[in-house]
Structure formats: C-alpha cells, structure tokens
Structure 1
Amino acid sequence: MTNVAHAFILDMDGTMVDSMPAHAKSWDLFRRRHGVAMSTEEILRRTTGRNGLECAREVLGPQVPEQRAWELMAQKEADYREIFGREFREVAGFTAFARQARERGLKLAVATGGDRDNLHFVLQRLRLEVGAEVRGDMGLPGKPDPAIFLEAARRLGVAPAECIVFEDAPFGIEAAARAGMRAVAICTTHSARELAGAHVIAQAADFEELTKKNFLESLHA
C-alpha cells in the first residue's frame, strides 16, 4: 500500500460520535417491544456496521419482508435519535481533528451503515461538511463488505490505496482491509486487540490521543 494519503473515510457511530450507548438503549427498547430473546450485547455484536435491512433480519430472522424490516428499523432509529439527542457528544477531539485534516488538504467522507436521518442528525450537530456521504440505506451491503468504503472513495475521486479509514468496530476494520485501505482504530467500543490488522496504522482511545501522537504530521513526515 502507498504511504500517500489523500482522503479520510470516517465511520460515524462510535467513531465520530459517542453514540453506541444510545444505540444500545434503543436496541433494548426494540427487543422488549418485539419480544426478542437475544441480549442487547449480542445484537450490537451482530449488527454494528450493517445496514438496516441486514440488522432487522439478523435480529428477527431472514423471513422478515424487506418493507417491514425498514419500517421496524425506522422506529428503532427514531428512538435512538430521541435518546442521543439528550446526551449528544462527539468522540473526544473529533471536530478539531477533522478541521485540521481539511486544512491539510485531505478530503473527508462519511461511510456508515446508518440511514439518511441518522447521518444528517449527526452532521448538523457537529456542524460538519464532508465531500461524500455513503449510507446503509443506499442499496449497498453493510460492513464487513467493502462496498460502502469503495463507493466513498469513488465519490471523492481518490484511489482506495490513498484512503485511510477510521473505525471503531471489527466489521469496519475488516471492510477496510477488503477495500485495500489502511485503517485507524478508534477504541471507544472495542479493544485494540479486537481492532488489529496488518493494515491498521494507528490505534487510539479518541482523536485527542491521535492529535497528541502527531498523527496528521506523521502522514507528511
């Protein structure tokens, strides 16, 4: 892989924003509302990074009709936004890091399994503009399939090898490798060991730590 970096491709939940506790609460509401025996922890393990259709079928079974699956997930995500809206917070140092990256000429994209409403909910609160948005409601398979990351690179006009993915989940780290991209592990929800890989060039608890490590400067050393 090349050492040149022209773009950062950002996962959203657990990477840009500290939203996984709110997602856990909304999944707990979902499982109680629909009589799901699976634990919230297991639901999160199986669904993080996947699109809404995949999530619904992972939790309720493959027999769920597509339209019904999307309807159920729309309610789940509305619950999430209500919960997270009361406790919204970014992953420490994210907006400052993103601003510094753009000042260095790096392109930014968001590639998330979340839907349009969730993405715009976050971008509006962060007051962040990005060069490309790729979401789980755009007909692409969710992570660990690399399609979302490859589409983000295509929309930015940057070769996959010149993109760096920022991720907090194993499925996302795997998807980056399958896309031929390097990755940075943001260890908000998983350990560094769970987010390891030959393509992982840095690991940090948050963006404040990455900044203290002079990560951006190291790209141009």
Structure 2
Amino acid sequence: MLDALIFDMDGTMIDSMPSHQESWAVFAQRQGLDVDIADLMRRTTGRTGLECMRDLFGRPDMDAAEAMAHVHEKEAVYREIFAPIFAEVAGFKAFFQQAHARGLKLGVGTAGDRRNQAFAYANLQMPIAPLTTVGGDEGLPGKPDPAIFLEAARRMGVEPARCIVFEDAPLGIEAARRAGMRAVGIASSHAPEELRGPHVLAVVPDYHALITSQFLETHHVATS
C-alpha cells in the first residue's frame, strides 16, 4: 500500500534549521523587533513565508506584496549563512536513490519558496530530481494544513493513503495526519517525542537509521 514518498525540505532533506533560526534573529534585529526566536520557530516552522511575516509583525492583514518583500530579505540572509556550511540530513541522497530504484514516486512538499528550492537542489546536486515540488509560494496554506502534501500527491497521481511523508517538525507531522498519510519523523531539529503519533511509522535521527533498519524493504514491495 505504498506508491510515493513526500519529503519536507528544510530540516528533512537539508540540515538547514540552525541557519534559518540565525537568519530570523538577524532579520528581527534589522527590523528593530524584540522576538523570542525559539518561540517563533516553534510557532512557524512549516508555515509559509507569508504566514510567518504576518505572525512576526503581528499584522494578520499585512499586504502580501509587503510580506513577500520581507520574506525575500530574510531568506537571502538564510542562504548567505547556510551556503558555506551546506549539508544534507545524513544519508538523505542515498535513501532517495534507493527509493527511486524501487520504483517509488518521489515528491517534495515544502513551505520554502522557489528561491530556496533552487538553492537546495543546486547544492544537493541530486542525480535524480523529484517528480514534483510543491512550495510555500504557490498560494496554498502552510502546515499543519494538509494542502501542500495533498497537492504533491495529486500531481504524482497517487492516493494520499499510499504516501509516506518525511518531516522534521510537529506542524508537518500533523499536516501528514490531516492529509490521511503516514509519516516518518526526522529528529534533526525537534525531540523525537514531539514527532510521534498513531500515523508515524518511525522517528529517526537521520536516513542512515532508515537504511540500516531496511525501512523501504519492510514497507514496500519493489516494482522495478
């Protein structure tokens, strides 16, 4: 009963969350905002840039164009910070290639915008591209709303129940549940207990753990 895997990007494919946290601190300082960054991260990780800026400034009706200008500034800071230390979540590319070799459809569902997606893919240098990427700048609500994951499944032509989502954040784990999808928690940026749930098949520190435990062999009958 498994046809596709859907991966979140930040903290799930790439080990970027510390750099995102640092970039939020830099951006808030530039704006003269006194912000508890750890609390902001807990509230917003998985939400779209538009949603994050409206939350940060306490202006739910902030004009979209104004919000997106702030998003582009903040994300440029993030890319500048992360580029020199860019790293995948350990074992991601190897796991992704194994899944592809088994005939699984592979998609990405992220709150990240197109610029961050391009940055991630360019630095990952993946030999196999995802079948689809659904991003946070496409007008869909962010997580825990299931819209991003459901759109990824729709584009791949796969029923939600036949997808497994890989996520590092509680809001993403909840979005998978609401989408009717099973999930795997990648505990790169949150404690394992924050990522558990009845629909969660495993919580692991990285993809080496999934490879070692033969996760794909257990949950999928190869078709290739």
Shorter-chain TM-score tier: over 0.9
The CA distance in 2 between the partners of 1:217 and 1:122, in whole Å, is: 28
Q: Deviations over 1:86-112 (max 9, x none)?
A: 110000000000000000001111100
Matches within 5 A, 1:147-186: 147-186=147-186
Aligned to 1:40: 37
Aligned partner letter, 2:9: M
Deviation of 1:63 after TM superposition, in Å, equals: 4.0
Q: 1:98 aligns with which of 96, 99, 105?
A: 96
Unaligned runs of 5+ residues in structure 2 are: none
Match of 1:87 in 2: 85
Identity %: 56
For the residues of structure 2 that align with 1:64 and 1:157, how far apart are their CA atoms? 35
Out of 7, 12, 19, the residue aligned to residue 10 of structure 1 is 7
State the Cα deviation string for residues 2-34 of structure 1 (Å, max 9, x = none). Answer: xx1110000000000000011011001011011
Cα separation, 1, equivalents of 2:220 and 2:133: 26
Instruction: Tell me the residue number matched to 2:118.
Output: 120
Separation in structure 2 between the aligned mates of residue 63 and residue 11 of structure 1, nearest angstrom: 27
- Point out 4+ residue stretches in structure 1 off by more than 6 angstroms: none
Pairing 1:141-220 to 2, within 5 Å after superposition: 141-220=141-220
Instruction: Give, in whole Å, the separation in 2 of the partners of 1:191 and 1:28.
Output: 22
Q: Does 1:23 align with 2:20?
A: yes
Q: What is the CA RMSD across the aligned residues, in angstroms?
A: 0.9
- Name structure 1 gaps, 5 residues minimum: none
Q: Given the alignment of the two structures, is residue 108 of structure 1 paired with residue 90 of structure 2, yes or no?
A: no
Which amino acid counterpart does residue 172 of structure 1 have in structure 2?
G
The Cα of 1:38 is off from its aligned counterpart by 1.7
Partner-residue secondary structure (3-state), 2:201: strand
Q: TM-score, length-normalised on structure 1? A: 0.97
Shift of 1:64: 2.4
1:120 deviates by: 1.1
Deviation at 1:37, TM superposition (A): 1.5
Aligned length: 218
